[in-house]
């Protein structure tokens, strides 16, 4: 047992080394069809582990029907639903195709995807552009306004941002995120600092490459008015950082956490691409006026990838303003979340540090052994969608990753290590 413990520790140190030595850059925005060349026709990538139409929650179904109309695979939402029931669409997890998406996380070939490149390892990860707040597809919105916005992201903002990023040679994300942590962002429920810092790097290049003044002003307005714009950058940053830590023999470090609104799924380095799932939990949080927990859909989205790299709930100490927003207690106790999460991680970042905690590093590298042993579940900061299709966001809160995922993963991991 002692030798196996040492083997696992060494493998985890290597997983942590790979995650912490990542150098993610936002380098481009490209048509999804260029990235997802081998995707079968009418495939819809979604957040979380694999799921069928039958088991999908309301907002996920709402988003599916919306994106089917956007892609021209259905004439209207009703037609899309009928087709979905007949099995006309193929559903696969974003994570299986190098992608991530917040909440419902719809990724299809007709969209534009932001590209994050990990320059230490050469791998890439992809995510659609954040739609803004209000009625949006990631929260299950699917009406004409929602689809029109995605069309503009595809034909307007996406190509313009791509050209600007190529002109700049990319934007380094690790230093930007480090700065964001000193400015109250934890990069899950709060991205106002990183969104602003990104815009100020992007704006001059946008001005240089833009050919249409009104379109440039629209792009600057859209990005500048969206405090969560950076979320969809932080997420592929997370995936680009964790992917190189996949499939290290003997490592019990979590490489992905995600939710499809029905199941929570995790992947562990030593067990490769295998999903370990359990029913998602209900976020505990704050609701927008007119809504209550009775309206809420359970936990959803690939966004928990940011907790996997030590941000979000793990870096709550950097973001006291988030604590109140998600109804998690007193702002002055933000550091407690970070200290608690440090109990279940292999290490912490030297580059992502929290001033108010005297520059303690973001807790990084969740060890499934520590999670099961301590009973401390990863804390995830999240938005809350209405449980019905087409409504949108109703609140924000904090949610725990379900214990079941980690227990199943530990059993499988132990089996692989030859331990009963």
Q: Which is nearer to a copy of itself, 218 or 400 (CB)?
A: 218
Output DSSP code: residue 107: B
Spatial distance between the Cα atoms of 420 and 418, rounded to a whole number of angstroms: 7
CB proximity list for 82: less than 8 A, separation 6 or greater: none
Closest approach of a copy of itself to the CB of residue 80, in Å: 35
Q: Residue 390 CB, nearest distance to a copy of itself (Å)?
A: 30
Rounded CA-CA distance 66/34 in Å is: 22
Q: Give dist(CA 229, CA 128) in Å, integer.
A: 11
For residue 330, the tally of other CB atoms under 10 A from its CB is: 10
- What's the closest the beta carbon of residue 47 comes to a copy of itself, in angstroms? 28
Measured from the CB atom, the residue of 215 and 407 that comes closer to a copy of itself is 215
**Widest pairwise Cα distance in the chain:** 67
Could you tell me the smallest distance in angstroms from the CB atom of residue 321 to a copy of itself? 4
103 vs 398, which CB is nearer to a copy of itself? 398
- As measured in angstroms, the least distance from the Cβ of 397 to a copy of itself is 18
Label residue 292 exposed, middle or buried (CB < 10 Å: 0-12, 13-18, 19+).
exposed
For a copy of itself, the binding residues (CB under 8 A) are 179, 182-184, 192-193, 196-197, 199-201, 203-205, 207-208, 210, 213-214, 216-218, 220-221, 223-224, 320-321, 323-324, 330-332, 334, 355-359
Dihedral sign for Cα 161, 162, 168, 173, please. positive
Closer residue to a copy of itself, CB minimum distance, 194 or 309: 194
Provide the minimum distance between the beta carbon of 225 and a copy of itself in the complex, in angstroms, as a whole number.
8
Query: Which CB atom, from 97 or from 218, has the smaller least distance to a copy of itself?
Result: 218
Residue number, 144 or 214, with CB nearest to a copy of itself? 214
| The pair of three-digit structure tokens given for residue 325, joined into one six-digit string | 């927003």
CB of residue 199 vs a copy of itself: minimum separation in angstroms?
Answer: 5
Residue pair 391/397 in contact (Cβ under 8 Å)? The answer is: no
Measured from the CB atom, the residue of 42 and 166 that comes closer to a copy of itself is: 166
**Tokens describing residue 355:** 């001033």
> 231-242 vs 192-209: helix axis angle to the nearest 10?
100
């Amino acid at each position: 047992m002692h030798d196996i413990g040492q083997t696992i520790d060494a493998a985890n140190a290597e997983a942590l080394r790979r995650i912490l030595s990542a150098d993610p850059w936002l380098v481009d925005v490209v048509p999804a069809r260029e990235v997802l060349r081998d995707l079968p026709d009418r495939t819809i990538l979604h957040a979380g582990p694999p799921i069928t139409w039958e088991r999908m929650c309301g907002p996920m179904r709402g988003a599916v029907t919306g994106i089917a109309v956007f892609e021209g695979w259905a004439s209207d939402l009703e037609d899309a639903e009928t087709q979905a029931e007949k099995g006309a669409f193929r559903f696969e997890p974003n994570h299986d195709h190098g992608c991530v998406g917040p909440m419902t996380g719809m990724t299809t070939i007709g969209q534009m995807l932001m590209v994050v490149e990990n320059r230490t390892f050469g791998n890439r990860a992809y995510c659609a552009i954040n739609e803004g707040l209000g009625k949006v597809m990631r929260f299950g919105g699917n009406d004409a306004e929602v689809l029109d916005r995605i069309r503009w992201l595809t034909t307007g903002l996406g190509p313009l941002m791509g050209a600007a990023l190529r002109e700049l040679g990319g934007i380094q994300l690790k230093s930007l995120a480090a700065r964001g942590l000193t400015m109250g962002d934890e990069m899950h429920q709060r991205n106002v600092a990183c969104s602003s810092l990104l815009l100020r790097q992007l704006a001059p290049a946008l001005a240089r490459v833009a050919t249409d003044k009104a379109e440039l002003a629209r792009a600057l307005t859209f990005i500048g008015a969206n405090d969560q714009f950076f979320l969809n950058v932080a997420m592929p940053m997370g995936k680009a950082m964790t992917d190189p830590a996949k499939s290290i023999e003997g490592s019990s470090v979590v490489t992905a956490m995600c939710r499809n609104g029905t199941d929570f799924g995790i992947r562990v380095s030593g067990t490769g691409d295998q999903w370990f799932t359990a029913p998602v939990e209900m976020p505990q949080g704050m609701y927008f006026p007119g809504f209550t927990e009775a309206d809420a859909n359970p936990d959803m989205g690939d966004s928990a990838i940011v907790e996997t790299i030590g941000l979000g709930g793990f870096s709550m100490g950097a973001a006291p303003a988030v604590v109140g927003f998600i109804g998690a207690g007193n702002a002055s106790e933000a550091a407690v979340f970070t200290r608690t999460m440090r109990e279940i991680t292999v290490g912490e970042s030297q580059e992502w540090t929290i001033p108010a905690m005297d520059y303690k590093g973001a807790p990084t590298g969740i060890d499934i052994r520590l999670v099961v042993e301590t009973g401390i579940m990863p804390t995830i900061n999240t938005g809350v969608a209405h449980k019905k299709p087409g409504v949108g966001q109703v609140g924000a809160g904090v949610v725990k990753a379900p214990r079941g995922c980690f227990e199943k993963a530990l059993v499988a991991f132990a089996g692989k290590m030859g331990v009963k």
